[in-house]
Amino acid sequence: MSPFQPYDMFCLPAWQYELNYTYWQAKSRYDQQCTARLFWQDIRIQQPRLVIVGRHGSGKSWLLRQECLAVCSQVQRCLQDEQDEQEMVLPIWLSGPECVRVLSAYRGNVVVALQQILRETLGDERGHDALLEEWLRAHPTLFLLDDYDLLDPEQRALVGTFLSWVETLPHARLVCAVRPEAAAALDLSSAFFVELLDWTDTQCKRYLLQRFAADPMMAAACWEQLQAPEYGEARVPLVLAWWSAFYAEQQRLPATCFEGYMWVLQHLLQRAMQSADLSLLREIVCPALERLAWTWATAVHGGWQGMLSRAEILMVLRQAGAGARAEAYLALLEQSGVLCRSVGHRGAPWNQQRVHYSWGSPVFPCVLVARMLTQQQWMWSDLLLLEKRCSPFWQQVVHLLAGANAPAVLRWVEEQRFSLQRDTASILLLARVGRELRRAGEALSPALVGWIADGLLQLELGSRKERRQAYALMKQLFGADVRARMLARLQMDGASLARRCAAVLALGVVGTNMDSEVLEQIVLDDGHVPELRGVALLVCWQVDEERAEKLCHSIFRRKEASLLVCGVALWTSVEKRASDMREEIVALLQRRGEVNSDKEQEWLLFDEVLIWAVVRLWKHSLPYPEEVWRLVAQHPSMLPIMLEELGWEEPIARRILRKWLRMTSADQEKSRAFVKRMADSHNPHKERLFPLLQEECQDGEILQWVTRWLEEKQKDEQRRIEIAEDEQEEAASFAQVLRVRGEIGEEEGHILLNQPEKVIPLIVARDEELWTREQALRWLWSYGDEQSWLPLLHVASDPTDDGELRKTALHVLHRKKPQPGEVLYPFLWDRDERVQAEAAYILSEIQDTTCIERIGFLLCHMEDEETQGRVERACVRYRDAAVHESLRTMIMQNMQYLRMRESDVKEHIVEYAVGRVLDEISIGAIASFDSATRWHILSLMLQRCYGEVGDLFWRKGFLEAASDQRIGIPYLIAGFFGVEEAALETIRAWWRSDGQDSYTMRSDANFGVIALGGALLRNEVSLYV
């Protein structure tokens, strides 16, 4: 799921950046917001450790069940065919709460806990413990972990011991399913994280046609209503299923999320009760469920966590009036799917008294609690003003409450708006509440809209997760207005071509499938410039894939003249696996062979698209069309991309390399320049390509560069070995120091990993040599425990001691036993800047904002560039929107002082912070902002005037001057600030720049295209503040 959808679409051909580290720098500068599309069948076998991230209802558990079913079917086939057991995979399904229960019972013994889980799952008490232990050690096993997000931090730490144990098993595979808010807590160093995207228009329409197979007209009517912005959650598969069922019965969609979820809950219960008296549902079952949900949500330990025991559920049912029928009601709740028996207890009647249950959907208890709170307004302050607002479950309750009692919630929010905190949780929660209030038909006051817009703009500078949430809410709250303005701009006669390109890119963010007709007209109109037609086609893929696929076929049938349009059509069709494009590719290759040399420049990127498409579709089916090899000879940078696409398989990789060497033998200047450029860059493909070149190539100059790089690599490896040996020697010397002082005996060869008390005195003693104290600190860093924190605090607090030693002691102190903020505050006023900077950084790690004014002062006044950079990084780590605003205010207040500083960095910050005056902007200053942290600080100060500053850059001619110098970063800046007039030039730089000589420009132009649509949305939202 990607709330900011264009980042999925606009992850344009990545092969063009892999020549140079610049691509990764650009990606880092833009906070890694691109999303590459993956397919489950491509990664399920290749990745032994997988984490599936997705919202509720996105299909995480379904994928786990499908994977488990596939493995079980394979085992069954192996047994029927009497195949070798080595081919079998043992699947083990684990529920997070169930895993915690068993691990706690067996004190963290993972193997014994697994044995118990299998016994409960199979309903078999016979012992197969030895067999299981042997299998786990030597045979393939698939662990499937679900419901991890239902665990509290302590329980997650317990499950973490199990996950660490799984990572040590060489034959084990692991697949975890988590919600986005819990993904960061998973400590899996080798895991591959994938995120389930929302369904596309095509998938949604296909489902509705299946759902309403008997009445396609109803499917079309339902889909038309689902296009409204307020039904964005219907792209999630489970919600789409629920909303379509609601539509089938009511002939409309639910007005609010609360109405829809409540209908689902009651529908499940009514279906299970069948002919029973439905008044019991209203009088006993629903009140009992409300009480059960409230009890579960407000548990003293682990609210919203864990599982429900059978005894607890029966007690609540009896208290609600069920009496002797409590057992029957529990069976009804289980039959309806509102409650689900834990996996380990299904079909196991022999342990009936220990049965536990979970909710059939995590939204069920939320909607029940919201229903209960509609009549208890006195409790609302506890939800919005206290710590509960930070809990994802309580946030869902407040969101549903806004739909359940919209007028009362709107009045309360308007009254309490000034009491709400300006932190991330409050801003996001209030934005979601505002969206739901609008959906319920309530009109928000301009002041409240401005408060929400201002908060979302602050979050645009936060973490990647915060940015995505902020943009998603911007789109939901303000997208309809922005979309109307962009469509009007496209029809405006006086609008410049660049602004029309920018408007099309903005539709990639806020557009709907209803805009696809307008986009199609632009694509097929030969009177428009290719740049506008190309991005219109990209955006059409974003808003309506079905129409875009037909549009691509139409482009090839009409023998489109524009290479840019053809290239976009070819790339998107192949990338999205729309259809087999082999015939079109052969025709384009023939057309390419007829091009005159004076037209070569127009084919630069298109040649790369052709080569990539051939390899993607033909794969190992050699021979490739002969025209491809001539293109590869002209574009040697595509060679490693071809081999990467083929997985670097040894036989075919050598065949392709030999073919390339023969094709370039007549004119080796390009291949030599390519190898030289690759040797000087950070291209990761060198690791595999250069050894092959050394064996296959006969050209002396190429071999010289390859051999030199391989020798340098060997020297680096030798240097790492020597460093490791030096560290061992230092450790031995340190051990000798301990022996001389009588701390350890000669027979103790290791450095007493479990006895830090013998090392700490060396750190504290001021009469020891500094080398000895540093070694002791290094040892404590690796092997110390929580008992060492007091001596370390003593060292760090001594202002007369060595500054570097004190800084290291403070770092080790936090590493071994994270300290409360009160312990660290005094260090912010230390005499040594290094200690101050380290304290600021640690406080940012624990998100302590008490002394943020002091940290802001240090940011503006520190003299040493290294320590000042450490404070910059500390500022960036804060995730509280109020902190960002506070820092911005402090920087602006210190402008006069900063102007007098000699530091170039400070001079540039000043230039931009007061950059409203044209004459004060330094043309070359932006090129020095190669640090992501300084870019963040700059953005922090200019956030309220992005559009103005961007237009100022453009009028100054900065972008043209920089592009003449082949500096790529202006295009990234143009996109980031939302410079509409730069849209056309940015698209041209992405498409027509020579990939071999201007890859920096091309990569930043690509990210400028990515950024521009979202930046326009952000700039439009700023008008509401």
pLDDT of residue 484: 92
Residue 375 burial by Cβ neighbours in a 10 Å radius (0-12, 13-18, 19+)? exposed
Inform me whether the pLDDT recorded for 11 exceeds 60. no
Residue with tokens 């209802």: 57
239-252 tens-digit pLDDT: 999 999 999 999 99
pLDDT of residue 867: 81
Spatial contact of 15 and 26, defined as CB atoms under 8 Å apart: no
b/e 643-660 (16+ beta carbons within 10 angstroms → b): bbbbeeeeebbeebbebb
Residue with tokens 């029973």: 276
Determine the 3-state secondary structure of 542 from DSSP.
helix
Q: Which amino acid, residue 209?
A: L
Asked whether residue 283 carries a pLDDT value surpassing 60, the answer given is yes
pLDDT over 60 at 813, yes or no: yes
Q: Return the pLDDT at 13.
A: 40
CB 892 within 8 A of CB 941: yes
Q: What local confidence, expressed as pLDDT, does residue 634 receive?
A: 79
Least confident of 182-186, 560-564, 812-816, 886-890: 812-816
Q: How far apart are CA 742 and CA 211, in angstroms?
A: 81
pLDDT-based confidence at residue 790 (cuts at 50, 70, 90): low
Q: For the chain, what is the mean pLDDT?
A: 76
In the structure, what pLDDT confidence band is assigned to residue 720 with cuts at 50, 70 and 90?
confident
Q: Rounded to whole angstroms, what are the CA distances from 690 to 42, 608, 687?
A: 27, 22, 6
Which residue carries 């031995």 as its tokens? 732
Average pLDDT over residues 369-392: 80
The answer to whether the beta carbons of residues 535 and 6 sit under 8 Å apart is no
- Confidence (pLDDT) at 596: 62
Q: How far is Cα 677 from Cα 996, in angstroms, rounded to an integer?
A: 9
What is the rounded distance in angstroms from the CA atom of residue 840 to the CA atom of residue 827?
8
Residue 593 reports pLDDT greater than 80: no
Q: What is the pLDDT of residue 220?
A: 92
| Highest averaged pLDDT of the listed ranges 440-449, 570-579, 635-644, 748-757 | 440-449
- Give 209-265 pLDDT, tens digit per residue: 999 998 999 999 999 899 887 888 888 999 999 999 999 999 999 999 999 999 999
Per the model's pLDDT, the better-predicted residue between 953 and 64 turns out to be 64
**pLDDT tier at 740, thresholds 50, 70, 90:** low
pLDDT tens-digit readout, 405-426? 999 999 988 888 777 777 778 8
User: In terms of pLDDT, which residue wins out, 174 or 823?
Assistant: 174
Which residue type is seen at 605?
Answer: L
CA angle 512, 515, 516 (to 5 degrees): 105
Q: Which of 460-469, 627-636, 712-721 has the lowest mean pLDDT?
A: 460-469
Strands (E) located in 181-281: 192-195
Residue 913: pLDDT over 60: no
* 744/120: higher pLDDT: 120
Q: List alpha helices for 862-998, DSSP H.
A: 865-877, 881-893, 895-899, 904-913, 932-942, 946-956, 958-964, 969-977, 983-992
Top pLDDT among 263 and 954 is at 263
Lowest mean pLDDT, pick from 229-233, 531-535, 701-705, 731-735: 731-735
Q: What confidence category does residue 519 fall into, taking pLDDT thresholds of 50, 70 and 90?
A: very high
pLDDT band at residue 270, thresholds of 50, 70 and 90? confident
Peptide bond into 254 cis (omega under 30): no
Among residues of the chain, what percentage have pLDDT more than 90?
Answer: 10
Residues facing residue 177 across a β-bridge? 52
Average pLDDT score over residue span 945-954: 70
Which among 124, 129, 127, 164 is positioned nearest to 143, based on CA atoms? 164
Left, alpha or beta for 323 (phi > 0: left; psi -120 to 50: alpha)? left
**Residues with Cβ within 8 Å of residue 298, at least 6 apart in sequence:** none
Task: Note the pLDDT of residue 275.
Answer: 58
Mean pLDDT of 4-12: 34
pLDDT one-digit tens code per residue, 483-506: 999 999 998 888 889 999 999 999
Rounded CA separation 517/523 (Å):
10
| Percent of the chain surpassing pLDDT 70 | 73
C-alpha distances in Å from residue 497, one per residue of 250, 585, 598, 953: 47, 31, 27, 19
Q: Specify the pLDDT at position 816.
A: 53
Of 931 and 782, more confident: 782
Cβ-Cβ contacts under 8 Å for 126 (sequence gap 6 or more)? none
DSSP letter assigned to residue 14: G
Q: What are phi and psi of 178, to 5 degrees?
A: -140, 160
For range 299-321, the mean pLDDT: 77
Identity of the highest mean pLDDT range in 78-92, 287-301, 707-721: 707-721
Hey, CA dihedral for 496, 498, 502, 507, is it positive or negative? positive
Q: Which of 13-22, 265-274, 458-467 has the lowest mean pLDDT?
A: 13-22
SS3 141: strand
Closest CA to 536 of 501, 563, 509, 511: 501
pLDDT average, residue stretch 1009-1014: 83
Order of strands, edge to edge, in the sheet holding 192-195?
90-95, 141-146, 172-178, 49-53, 192-195
Residue type, 348: A
Q: Which residues pair with 339 in a beta bridge?
A: 359
Kindly report the pTM of this predicted structure: 0.72
What amino acid is encoded at 856 in this protein?
Answer: G
Between 697 and 16, the more confident residue is 697
Q: Could you tell me which residue, 524 or 12, shows the higher pLDDT?
A: 524
Per the DSSP assignment, residues forming a β-bridge with 95 are 146
- Amino acid 653: pLDDT: 86
* CA 38 to each of CA 3, 42, 51, 201, 619: distance values in angstroms, whole numbers, following the listed order: 17, 7, 13, 18, 18
pLDDT band per the 50, 70, 90 thresholds, residue 990: confident
Task: Give me 578's structure tokens.
Answer: 């729309």
Arithmetic mean of pLDDT, 896-901: 56
First to last CA, the chain: 29
Split at pLDDT 50, 70, 90, the class of 920 is: very low
Residue 505 CA to residue 1004 CA, distance in Å, equals 16
Alpha carbon separation from 773 to 625, 675, 752, 786, 906 (Å, rounded): 68, 48, 17, 19, 37
Q: Distance (Å, rounded) from C-alpha 610 to C-alpha 613?
A: 5
Alpha helices in 363-445 (DSSP H): 363-373, 380-384, 392-404, 406-416, 424-439
